Structure formats: structure tokens, C-alpha cells
Amino acid sequence: MMSRYRFYVGTLDPCGDEVKHDKVRQYLVGKFGGYTAFPADGAWCDAAGSVIHEASVVYEVLEDAPLVTGATMRAHADALRSRARQRCVLFTAERVLGGFVQ
């Protein structure tokens, strides 16, 4: 079994400026040895009931190791939030069947 982590990072900062994801990618390579990135589009309702749309990038990393703690995942998400100038970054963690085939 492997551990899969996903981080959902917006493409715009709170001021509407485009986020340069270089610092996010550098962080993930440094901490996990690599990543796979997927473009994504999400939506949610704000407090007034208006639908908010946001383009984002989903970064996925895999480790051949047990899942890290929630506190560790929050620390990684906070590091990415800071590097991408985001108000928040969503993360998920799960165990998956997988492996590297060479």
C-alpha cells in the first residue's frame, strides 16, 4: 500500500493576480521527491448563497510509506498556502494500492 496526498491550490491570489506555482513545485519535490499536477475547476456557495468558481491545480504525491499525521498534512498545506499566496489550501490523504513498475 502507498500513501497518496493531494493539495488543491488556486491559480489566483486573493487580489486576483496569477499565482506562480514554481515555489509550490519546488516545495513538493523537496519534501516528497516529486509530484503530478492536474488542472481543476471548482465551485462553492459563499455565505450570501452566490456561486464562486475557482480554477486550481491539484498536486498529487505518492509515498511508499504509512500516512503522515493530520498535523503534518496541515503543516504541508500551510507551507503551500504561504508559497502560493492563498487564503486556504485543501488537502486529502489516503492509502491506495499502487507501486512503481520498472
pTM of the entire predicted model: 0.90
User: Residue 98: what pLDDT?
Assistant: 87
Domain contains 44: yes
How far is 93 from 91, CA to CA, in rounded Å?
Answer: 7
How far is 56 from 30, CA to CA, in rounded Å?
Answer: 21
User: Residue 101: what pLDDT?
Assistant: 87
How far is 31 from 56, CA to CA, in rounded Å?
Answer: 21
Domain contains 77: yes
Residue 68 Cα to chain centre, angstroms: 15
Averaged pLDDT of the chain: 94
Domain contains 102: no
Domain contains 101: no
Do β-strands 90-96 and 36-45 pair in parallel, antiparallel, or remain unpaired?
unpaired
Number of domains in the chain: 1
How far is 71 from 101, CA to CA, in rounded Å?
Answer: 31
Domain contains 63: yes
Strand partners, 41: 55
List pLDDT tens digits, range 22-62.
999 999 999 999 999 999 999 989 899 999 999 999 999 99
CATH number at residue 23: 3.30.70.120
Higher pLDDT, 27 or 65: 27
User: Residue 100: what pLDDT?
Assistant: 80
Rounded to an integer, the average pLDDT of 67-89 is: 95
